[in-house]
Amino acid sequence: MKNNRIILLDVGGTFVKSSLGIAGKGAVEGTFDSTPMSSDGSAEEIETSFRTAVSGQMKRAEESGCTVDAVCVVMPGPFNYKEGIFLMKHKFASVYGRSFREILGDAIAPQMRLAFAHDVNGALTGALTINPELKKGTVAMSTLGTGLGFSYAKDGIVQESETGSPARDLWDVPYEGGILEDYISRRAIIRFYTELGGTLAEGEDVKEISEKARGGDEKALEAFRSAGRHYVAGAKGLIEELGISHLLFAGQIARSFDLMEGVIKEGLGEGVDVSVVDDIQGTVLVGIASL
């Protein structure tokens, strides 16, 4: 068993991140790779990216004398995680309705096990595996980045819909004439900053706004605080409804969580513990290995 490995895939819009893994533990050091992926590309281009990523890890396993037992995948939705079928129309449109097994083709053996999870569910699974104390009660994770992700677990079991997506969503909660994601996301923070009179040079993004905030730019700091206040206003009802006792934050924007931490903790109150997942990539890989 010690020479058995699994292939871990973290699928994004521009790259497929891959590594060999050990079931239930995480990635094998020194096996991480990143394959360019155009989610807007043709079916052939998408197939090539996936097959390249998997074949590369297969070769790495073979060269190290290991056998691959499974391919475990996390990716955003919509996707049928139970059957491994693409259902996205805004990304991966050219492979809509096709199965992941079909796309991999002869890159894997016909009997090889495939397992899938929504990216936020995978991240939460990883956090629960790394810190078993989180398996007590009801724990949730919000991912802050291009969009707003949400997943929750009861007594260590991640709650899923019939197709394997998160059981409840936050991103599309009706809010201020739109949806909550309009007010807590990359685009929201940029909008808040510019509406306050802040200016960004070409190519600057949320990272630069956070740097400005830490450098004393009050407009930049207020942009993050505004996003935090909107998060509380839009999410508190669901957090209370589900009885969330611990709320984890992760994602690219969560790297700047300290800039909105105060308003979020104050808004949610003392009944909810709040913390940040620092190593989101490592956490996701542990989650994938647990599928």
pLDDT in tens, 150-172: 999 999 999 999 999 999 999 99
Confidence band of 51 (pLDDT split at 50, 70, 90): very high
Radius of gyration of the chain (CA): 20
Asked whether the predicted pLDDT for residue 199 surpasses 60, the reply is yes
Intrachain domains 4-111 and 123-284 with the same fold: yes
Asked whether the predicted pLDDT for residue 2 surpasses 70, the reply is no
Asked whether the predicted pLDDT for residue 1 surpasses 60, the reply is no
CATH 3.30.465.10 fits 4-111, yes or no: no
pLDDT of residue 218: 97
Over the chain, what is the mean pLDDT? 94
How much is the average pLDDT of 275-279? 93
Q: What are the residue boundaries of the structural domains of the chain, listed by start?
A: 4-111, 123-284
- Give every CB contact of residue 80 below 8 A, 6+ residues apart in sequence: 87, 163, 164
How much is the average pLDDT of 217-240? 97
Confidence band of 146 (pLDDT split at 50, 70, 90): confident
How much is the average pLDDT of 236-248? 97
Pick the CATH number of 123-284 from 3.40.50.300, 3.30.420.40, 3.40.50.1970, 3.10.20.310: 3.30.420.40
Cis peptide, bond prior to residue 78, ω within 30 of zero: yes
43-66 exposure pattern, b = at least 16 Cβ within 10 A, e = fewer: eeebbbbbbbbbbbbbebbeeeeb
pLDDT of residue 90: 86
- Give every CB contact of residue 48 below 8 A, 6+ residues apart in sequence: none
pLDDT in tens, 59-101: 999 999 999 999 999 998 899 999 999 999 888 999 999 999 9
| 246-250 and 273-276 beta bridge pairing | parallel
Residue 91 structure tokens: 């990304």
Percent of the chain with pLDDT over 70: 99
Asked whether the predicted pLDDT for residue 254 surpasses 90, the reply is no
